[in-house]
Chains A and B, each alone.
Chain A
Amino acid sequence: MADITRKVAQRILNSQKKGKTPTKIAPFQLVLLAAAIVLLAAYPFFPFVNNYWIDVGFFVGIYVLLGLSLNIVLGEVGLFDLGHAAFYAIGAYTTGILFTQLHIPIVVLLPISAIVAGGFAYLVTSPIIHLRGDYLCIVTIGIGEIVRITALNNPFGLTKGANGITGIGTPDFGLFSFQTPTHFYYYIWIIVALVIIGLLNLQKSRVGRAWNFIREDEIAAEANGIDVRSYKLLAFVLGAALAGIAGNVYASKMMVISPDNFTFMESCLLFCIVLLGGLGSIPGNMLGAAAIVIFPEIFRQFASYKLLFFGAALVVMMIFRPGGIWPRRREGVGFRGLGISGLPKDEDEFLSKIPKESVLISSGSNSSSPVSIESSAEKADGDVVLVTKSVTMQFGGLTAVNNFDLIVRQGKISSLIGPNGAGKTTLFNVITGIYRPTSGKVVFLGKNITGLKPHTIVSKGIARTFQNIRLFPSLTCIENVMSGPHCHAHSGAWSSILRLPGQKREECRILEIATYRLHQVGLWQYRNELAKNLPYGKQRLLEIARALATSPKLLVLDEPSSGLNDKETEELMDSLKSLIAEGFTLLLIEHDMNVVMGISDWVTVMDMGSKIAEGLPSQIYNNPRVIEAYLGKEE
């Protein structure tokens, strides 16, 4: 629905402006959507539909809402949540308790239940959000069980134990209150429609993209400026709040709730809805929920066998269609799928209209602090951008980096070379915040950045690539690069859901920067392709584009030529040189000596964790210690 209203409004607006054409509406999607809305709206009036089946329609709506709530956590972020029924329960019990004890109206309790559930989620997931997948799984199961058993045990007489809370009222708007199944049917589906609009807006925003980045590769996301912890928490809180709303509506319809409604099995069903529908897919979610509710109904006559078929059906589905019934399609959708308004119909036209000055870094628009020189000795030969002072990194008994001093100067290409296992990547990991050094300091643009979290360091101006390429494989190339400007933008969940003007401008700007950088590395034609489908050499370039999009002052590249053939390596060297011209500073780890010797201004050699030589490339080439380190000693 969001797409249509936005697009229609856009059309009207644009017909009044000159030079811009509206985004294309896919006719097929529009027809499908309209048909679905008509069907849902008219459903209670179909001939065979009696109260029983209207109730079924209601329950499909509840499970769609629950599925959507879990989808945020599991589908968008990829967090292994098998205890989601806990938040559903919290919402229901908040409503039940506050209504029966304090007689607060049900309608008022809807937002209250959402807030309580969200708050509960924040409290319990904060201490465990960092746990690895399988461990997070068991903890969420534990939370689910704790909530259920607590409800069962009737603490302080509040939850009324196994029989549950009875006599919960229905939503009452004063003049009008919901009584019949039909009322509730429309009630839940209107809520679902609103939630879907909000979630679609969220999905196609900076927040939604950040969630997907985390799902694809958490480490890469953090290394590209995404505050992983905050976004994970946000997902849980939002997911819990929506489940809480479902709990409120469920309680007000059934008027009775008991711990049996919120078992581990319930959480498993929600899990299956999301997977069955397709991770992160909103239409898939709806189909999944419908399947979960309707399937046992169809097999109702088989009574005890219906769940048997259900279990078998799950297995069969996963064998033949593990991506889900309606997986979210990203490739080939184009910029239209990004949900950014005001785009020209022709994407190439968009590219040509980007104001270059706002994107390039040499104008200094995105760089932060001025350079403060530590000592006069470093004043020579250009400003110092980065310096590591006596950095040591130890892992248990192993010293990977030993008292390392590295200086990187403005506008130069510095290379770090050394035999395999010398500790080069470890040093990079210290510089970019993945490791905290055992001792020593890292100073960037005059400020001490030692021990800062990786995403903070990105926002300060250091971007990196990885030795083994860490892209976001199931996202398109343009989406991958859009992670770059993320750290300099500010729009949060609310401004994204409501599509405030500031957020829209920001989104456009993010796309501009991403488009420019993607084009710069020569991958514009691949913009709507999935990153994983790119040939290897192009994947390397994509990673560089992504790093460039963070508008860094210093670009740290870990073996950029690895896996490239001769021609690609030549092109890479030219690209790197042009980056210097644009105003970047480069620090490379390299093994290809042609690259090192060909374009470096300064070379530092590392062996067994220590610096063994540094100087101009020609000096290094003839340095006996270096030769020894690489070729071995003369016997």
Chain B
Amino acid sequence: MRMLLEQFLNGLTIGSFYALVAMGYSMVYGVMKLINFAHGDLFALGSYLGYTVLVIGAGWITQVFGIWGGVAVAITAAMIGIGIAGLVVERIAYRPVYKAGRLPIVVSALGMSIFISNGIMAIWSPRFQAYPQNAIPSEILSFGDIRITLVKLVTLLVSLALMAFIYWLVERTLFGAAVRATALDRDTATLMGINFSKIILFVFFVGPALGAMAGVFAGLNYGRIIFNLGWGYGLKAFTATILGGIGNIPGAMIGGLLLGVMESLFEGFVSGAWKSVFVFLVLIIILIVRPTGLIGEKIAEKV
């Protein structure tokens, strides 16, 4: 029972990373109809930015803001930095290629992905980087039989809170309705006075920023990061996006969490080595049965 709960919490944690990255994929896809293959690498870049802030700040940030303040500064810096990076990627790798069609955009995205991951390797190092021990809070909490690190708890709470905020933003505000409307019908959205360029700005800033937060949390939770972190996470998160129905942001959230939990439980009770195979098999079976994803693309059938 204890193992079940612990695995479940582990699953929620990694699931929240998948969810945050998946939301970025869904946002961009919904509006632009393109898969941002560089997205996973922006997640990795985020974790490296957080790392750099903590390392450079070293004692200084922790002294001024306290250890949790240091974490907050790292996350904020990463989110802003990667948000800007997302806009830059859109500007140089996608905008000039839109008119060429869907396949060239994929190659451009892949090229960007290779560029970013190798850029990380070149700037930092090809070896694992460890998040500085003194910057990571070390308390462990106990709830009866269950032990959970404070970092993990905070990760879960903050991630879920941010997801809830994005959900509220997209589903309950007028601006969110505008984003969703643009994804459904760009021309009619323009008739409503919605400025498409602003929408692009939004999805290419916020999406990567969410990933950046996940990146820093991943670094804090697992202690060390590597330059090609983006590949593995990106792939799983992309799977979660499809699971939830591509373009569907709440679906991406649920898909990500579900994926993380499934993967963790499988790892805990069956096998760690086969967990990815399990995840992909589940995806394939779901797509065979429900070609538009578990929750669906949320497109009312129009003939």
Interface residues of A (CB under 8 A from B): 80, 127-128, 130-135, 137-139, 141-143, 145-146, 149-150, 152-153, 264-265, 268, 271-272, 275-276, 279, 304-305, 307-308, 310-315, 317-319, 322-323, 395-396, 398, 400, 426
Contact = CB atoms under 8 A, between A and B. Distances in A.
B121 interface: yes
Contacts of B92: 315
A90 to B, nearest CB: 15
Nearest to B115: A311
B291 A134 contact: no
Nearest to A137: B35
B287 A319 contact: no
Interface in B71-123: 92-93, 96-97, 100-108, 110-116, 118-119, 121-122
B121 to A, nearest CB: 6
A153 B278 CA distance: 13
25 contacts: A80-B106, A128-B287, A134-B35, A135-B242, A135-B291, A137-B35, A138-B238, A139-B283, A271-B110, A275-B103, A275-B107, A276-B107, A305-B118, A308-B118, A308-B122, A310-B111, A310-B114, A311-B113, A311-B118, A314-B108, A314-B114, A315-B93, A318-B104, A319-B96, A426-B303
A149 B119 contact: no
Interface stretch (B165-173, B201-209, B269-277): B269-277
B288 interface: yes
Nearest to A305: B122
Contact of A268 (B110, B122, B239, B242): B110
B141 interface: no
Contact of B118 (A127, A268, A307, A323): A307
B126 interface: yes
Given A268-B110, A317-B107, 20 more contacts: A128-B284, A132-B291, A138-B238, A145-B235, A145-B276, A146-B276, A271-B107, A271-B110, A305-B118, A305-B122, A308-B118, A310-B111, A311-B111, A312-B111, A314-B107, A314-B110, A314-B114, A315-B92, A318-B104, A395-B303
A171 B140 CA distance: 60
A598 to B, nearest CB: 31
B145 interface: no
Interface of A is mostly: helix
B60 interface: no
A149 B276 CA distance: 8
B276 A135 contact: no
Contacts of A305: 118, 122
A396 B101 CA distance: 33
A304 B288 CA distance: 42
A139 B235 contact: no
Among B111, B119, B242, B281, the most chain A Cβ lie within 10 Å of the Cβ of B111
A72 B275 CA distance: 32
Which residue, A128, A315, A396, has most C-beta atoms of chain B within 10 A?
A315
B68 interface: no
Given A312-B115, A318-B100, A319-B96, A138 B110 contact: no
Contacts of B100: 318, 322-323
Contacts of A398: 303
A149 B279 CA distance: 12
Interface string B271-303: 001101100110110011001000000000101
Contacts of A396: 301
B217 interface: no
Contacts of B281: 142, 146
B107 A318 contact: yes
Contacts of B116: 311
B244 to A, nearest CB: 12
B273 A152 contact: yes
B43 interface: no
A268 B235 CA distance: 13
A317 B93 CA distance: 10
B253 interface: no
Contacts of A127: 288
Residue in B114, B283, B301 with the greatest tally of chain A CB atoms within 10 Å: B114
A318 B97 contact: yes
Nearest to B100: A322
Given A138-B242, A142-B280, A315 B111 contact: yes
A319 B277 contact: no
Of the candidates B110, B121, B122, B239, the one having the most CB atoms from chain A within 10 angstroms of its own CB is: B110
A275 B118 contact: no
A132 to B, nearest CB: 7
B287 A135 contact: yes
Most chain B CB inside 10 Å of its own CB: which residue of A146, A264, A395? A146
B256 to A, nearest CB: 14
Contacts of A134: 29, 35, 242, 246
B104 A322 contact: yes
B231 interface: yes
B225 to A, nearest CB: 17
Interface string B115-152: 11011011000100000000000000000000000000
Contacts of A145: 235, 276-277, 280
Contacts of B118: 304-305, 307-308, 310-311
Given A145-B280, A275-B107, A305-B122, A400 B303 contact: yes
Contacts of B288: 127-128
B15 to A, nearest CB: 18
Contacts of A318: 97, 100, 104-105, 107-108, 111
Contacts of B291: 130-132, 135
A322 B104 CA distance: 6
